[in-house]
Structure 1
Amino acid sequence: MSRWPNKYVIGLTGNIAVGKSVVRQMLQHLGAYTIDADGLVHQAMAPGAPAYKPIVDTFGQFILNAEKQIDRAILASVVFANPAALAKLEAITHPIVGQAINVLVSRAQQSVIVVEAIKLLEGDLAKLVDAVWVVDAKAETQIKRLMDKRKMPEAEARQRVAAQNPQVEKLAKANIIIHNDGNVEETWKQVQSAWTAIPKPAAPAAAAPAPKPAAAAPAQPA
């Protein structure tokens, strides 16, 4: 049973550059309310936002750009090369993002909600969802996408892919697997098929009809 009355929450995950955001956008097109956990992290790191000061205090002023914003490229170069540093960053951001997701899910009007999060299964977010969908792609596909779309040097792209938790661990916990090595039409067909199999949340119970008033007794003759 869902922890969310009359809602069905899908946790959408998969390693870097497998195409999670593409699948999330497809599900949004089909009618789901979608949440991008990575986008929430970026918002939480903005100056004045809850994660900004703890991150700067932890990693130092050198991660800031000229406008005193956190330079995500510099921060990424630190944490992806150092598992202990990554754990510190996630200890700051994950609770903040989890709280935000709770609020967004509770306020959503749609009955199907999708939460896209690369670390869905490694933290407490998994407790918020009713099903786990994993997007999968071959390592060479991931590397090529990072090089093509993010203009990463090959060595950096390979480092990013290698730094991820093994994809097989996510696949082992999946309720649905979307293979995203082919063209977008093939991915779309898989998403549509999985969408039609989503359990429809029960509608709120209708109020019982009010009892009809009892017929008045006929008047007795005087």
Structure 2
Amino acid sequence: MSTKKYLIGLTGNIATGKSTVLRILKRLGARGIDADALVHQLMAKGTPVWQAILDEFGEGILGPEGEIDREKLGAIVFAKAEALKRLEAIVHPAVTARVDELIRQATEPVVVVEAIKLIEAGWHRTCDALWVVTCPREQQLERLMRTRKLSREEALLRIEAQPPQEDKVALADVVIDNSGSLQEMREQVEREWEKLFAEGSRRSPGVSL
């Protein structure tokens, strides 16, 4: 990954609030890159990634219009670690190439890359700082069940398919605790943002919430 600008790697386990932190940072003036959104684009019907996934997992993962049904694919890869690794081997190289391109194109002094597999993909090694978002397991479950209409068992499968939050926290430069209110999380993000410009090494975009 490119590192010419100040690059923040933003990660955390599923349903911890990474996307909310990214939105706050974008409002503050950072360039935000959502790796999961890029995956959606790269997996669109007819793309090379779509074809590679289809070849690997078969037509049973397709929806009625020939698109990849993420729920069907998820049922396979979250049930077996080996299947998840096969999927990641297809998707990660394409996402990495696209992220590199977007970083090069960015004009903002701070670029934030949000990715649930940021550490597993090794991207954190080229970031200037690693930010990790955390929240209690029960909050993860509640959010997954509410926002994705999953059963408790399905939500648990997704959570347990990932490394413990503590592993990410151990590598973090900044930890954002999302166990409280949105305002409390916003204040944490704003404090860390201000620290980036405290020494005057980067010119703050001066955007406020």
Same-fold status (TM-score > 0.5): yes
Question: Equivalents in 1 of 2:193, 2:47: separation in Å?
Answer: 35
Bigger Rg, which one: 1
Give the percent of matched residue pairs that are identical in Structure 1 and Structure 2: 46
Q: Counterpart in 1 of 2:128?
A: 130
Indicate the RMSD between aligned Cα atoms, in angstroms: 1.5
Any stretches of 5+ residues in structure 2 without a counterpart?
204-209
SS of aligned partner of 1:135: strand
Q: Counterpart in 2 of 1:89?
A: 87
Q: Counterpart in 1 of 2:143?
A: 145
Question: Equivalents in 2 of 1:174, 1:88: separation in Å?
Answer: 27
Q: Is the 8 A contact 1:11 1:126 kept in 2?
A: yes
SS of aligned partner of 2:196: coil
| 1:28 equivalent among 23, 26, 29 | 26
> How many aligned positions are there?
201
Deviation per residue, 1:159-198 (Å, 9 max, x gap): 2112211111100000000000111000000000000111
1:48 aligns with 2:36: no
Q: Is the 8 A contact 2:11 2:118 kept in 1?
A: yes
Question: Equivalents in 2 of 1:10, 1:96: separation in Å?
Answer: 20
Q: Is the 8 A contact 2:130 2:172 kept in 1?
A: yes
1:4 aligns with 2:7: no
Question: Equivalents in 1 of 2:26, 2:202: separation in Å?
Answer: 21
Under a length normalisation based on structure 2, what TM-score does the superposition of the two structures give? 0.92
SS of aligned partner of 1:81: coil
Under a length normalisation based on structure 1, what TM-score does the superposition of the two structures give? 0.87
Q: Is the 8 A contact 1:37 1:97 kept in 2?
A: yes
Question: Equivalents in 1 of 2:201, 2:127: separation in Å?
Answer: 14
Any stretches of 5+ residues in structure 1 without a counterpart?
204-222
Question: Equivalents in 2 of 1:50, 1:97: separation in Å?
Answer: 12
